[in-house]
Amino acid sequence: MLSATIAENEKVLVKLVNEVSSNHDNLVREWHELKRCLDADIRVKATESRRRNEGYILVKRTDLQRLCSEIIQLKQILPKVVDRNYLSAQGRVVELEEKLQSLHKLQAEVEKLDCGILSLKAENEELKMRFETSVQQNQAEKQENRSLRQEVSLLCEQLSQQSEYCTGLGTACCTLLWRVSRNEQCVQTMLTGGTIEAFLSLVPSTLESYLSAYKNDWPKEDSPESKFVMALCGTVTNIAASAFGREFLMNSPRGVQLVETCLKTVAEAPRVKAEKLKCLLIMALYNLTINQKGLEHLSSKPGMVQLFTWLLKDEQNGEIRLHSLHLIQSLICDEKNTKPLNEFIEMQPAGLLQKLTDDRDKSVSQAAMELLTDLEYFCSEP
C-alpha cells in the first residue's frame, strides 16, 4: 500500500512538471509567433510602402504608442507568469520530494518492523516447540511419578505388613520370654547363651527409639509396640530379680548401659500414659540394688535421689510410689555411702513421708512408715 502511494505521488509530480513545461513552451512559442507576425507585418508594410513610394512609411503616433505599450506589457507579464507558475510547481515538487522521502523512511521502518515481526515469529515458533517438548516431558514425568507413587505405595503397604508381622512376632516371642524368665533356672540358661549380648543391646536401643518416637504421642497399652516394649522391660525385670541375673548385668558393659537407659526412660516418659512401663523399670532398678555392685553403682549416680523424690511427690500411681519408696530405702541403707541419705533428707518436702503414711494404699503407707523409721534411726545415730 505504501509503495502504491509513492508511485501515485511520483506520477502527479511528473504530470505537474510536464504541464508547467508545456505552458512555458506554449507562451514562449506564442511570444515568438507574435513577434514573428509583427516583424512580418512590418516587413510587408515596409515592402509595400517601398513599392509604392520607395521611401518612409507614416504610422500614427497612437498606433505606435499602443504597439509599444503592448510589447512592454508582454515583456513584463510573460516572465512573471512563467516565473510564478514555475516557482509554484517547484514548491510543489520540493513538497512532494519531502513527502517522498518521508514515505521512503516509513517504508524502511515498515521493512524493519517486518523483519522484527519475522524474527518474533521465528522466536515464537521456537518457544512453541520448546513448550510442546516441555509439556511432553512433563507428561512423561507425571506418568513416571504416578508409577513411582504406585510402587512406593505398594512398597509402603508391604513394609507396613512386614512391620506389623515383625512387631507381632517380636511381641509374641518377648511375651513368651517374659513368662519364661520368671523361672530362675531359665534365667541362668538364657544368660549363659551366646545371644544375651545381642538382647542387652536390643533393649536400650528399643527403649531410646520408643521414647524418642512416642514421647509426645504415647501409644495405648494394647498397641503392638507397647506390648513389645513392655515384654522387653518385663524380661529385664525378671533377670534383675535373679541373683545370677543381677550379678551378670552389673558385670556386663551392656548391662550398665541398660541401667542408664532405664533411668532416662523413667525420668522422661509421660506421667499417666507410661505408668506400667515406669513400674517395670523401677522394679528392675530396685532389684539391682539388692546386688552390692548394683547398689554402689546406683548410689553413685547424681540425681538418683532427686528423681525418685520427685516421683513420690508428683506421681499418683500407687505402684510407682511403692517401688520408689523401696528404691529410696535401699539407697539410703548403704552404710558405705551416706550421700543418698543426706540428699534425701535435704530434698524431701516437709511432711511428704508423713503424708504417705496415711495413703489409702496400705502397701504405700507401710513402705512409707518403714522408710520414716529408717530415717529416724539413721538420724539418731551419732
- Same domain flag for 265 and 315: no
In CATH, what number is assigned to the domain containing residue 349? 1.25.10
Give the burial class of 136: count Cβ atoms within 10 A of its Cβ; 0-12 exposed, 13-18 middle, 19 or more buried: exposed
- Same domain flag for 239 and 312: no
Give the burial class of 281: count Cβ atoms within 10 A of its Cβ; 0-12 exposed, 13-18 middle, 19 or more buried: buried
- 160 domain residue, yes or no: no
CB 331 within 8 A of CB 295: yes
In this prediction, residue 367 carries a pLDDT of 86
Higher pLDDT: 212 or 52? It is 212
- Same domain flag for 267 and 355: no
- 130 domain residue, yes or no: no
DSSP letter for 218, please. P
For the residues 232-254, what does the mean pLDDT come to? 90
- The domain tally of the chain equals 3
Least confident among 70-79, 93-102, 114-123, 255-264 = 70-79
- 167 domain residue, yes or no: no
The pLDDT of residue 156 is above 60: yes
- 296 domain residue, yes or no: no
Higher pLDDT: 237 or 336? It is 237
The pLDDT of residue 362 is above 60: yes
* pLDDT tens digits, 72-89: 777 777 666 555 655 566
Higher pLDDT: 323 or 272? It is 323
The range of the structural domain enclosing residue 47 comes to 2-121
- Same domain flag for 39 and 92: yes
Least confident among 46-60, 199-213, 366-380 = 46-60
Instruction: Determine what percent of the chain is predicted with pLDDT higher than 90.
Output: 10
- Same domain flag for 214 and 309: no
- Same domain flag for 195 and 274: yes
- 211 domain residue, yes or no: yes
> What residues contact residue 280 under an 8 Å CB cut-off, 6+ apart?
230, 233, 234, 236, 237
For the residues 308-328, what does the mean pLDDT come to? 86
Helix, coil or strand: residue 289: helix
Least confident among 18-27, 104-113, 267-276, 287-296 = 18-27
- 256 domain residue, yes or no: yes
Helix or strand (DSSP H, E) at 269: none
N-terminal to C-terminal alpha carbon distance within the chain: 126
